[in-house]
Amino acid sequence: MRKLLIVGLLLLGTIAFAGKYENELTERMKAVEEKAQVGWDSGVRADMINASLDLDTEWEKEMNKVYDLILKKLPAKEKVKFKVEQQKWIKDRETKVQKAYDKYEAEEGPRMAGELAANDRLSITKDRALQLAKKYDKLNK
């Protein structure tokens, strides 16, 4: 319940200061996040991990959509730079998630490491999707 309240407050704050695409993205993802909350609230480790992984997959899809929209708006020189930036971000994300997993495994053990690392990956992916949505909104001003 506490996670749902926090997510709700974050969404409200995001919507208040967001652009059109970012608002639409946040609205689309509300239902998906509510579905994930059911898994997190179950208390069953597998359900909790799957909820995070499923939600991460959905945020990844949304991130890829807005990435493609941005590419269509950019001039050729900026497209190359943006593609390189995104590839670097993908590598950095995987490095961060692996480091987090290794840290959690050492601190909490292998059972908790998967769940915690999945949550970290979700957070990183969601942040990037929202960052790209803001960028797209700026391009459309």
| Contact assessment for residue 36 and residue 115, using Cβ atoms and an 8 Å cutoff | no
Task: Dump pLDDT digits (tens) for 21-62.
Answer: 999 999 999 999 999 999 999 989 889 888 988 999 999 999
Residue 2 pLDDT class (50, 70, 90 cuts)? low
**75 vs 16: which has the higher pLDDT:** 75
Q: What is the mean pLDDT of the chain?
A: 88
d(CA 75, CA 89): 21
Q: 71: which 2 tokens?
A: 């590419």
Neighbours of 123 (CB within 10 A): 14
Q: pTM for the complete prediction?
A: 0.82
Task: Dump pLDDT digits (tens) for 86-98.
Answer: 999 999 999 999 9
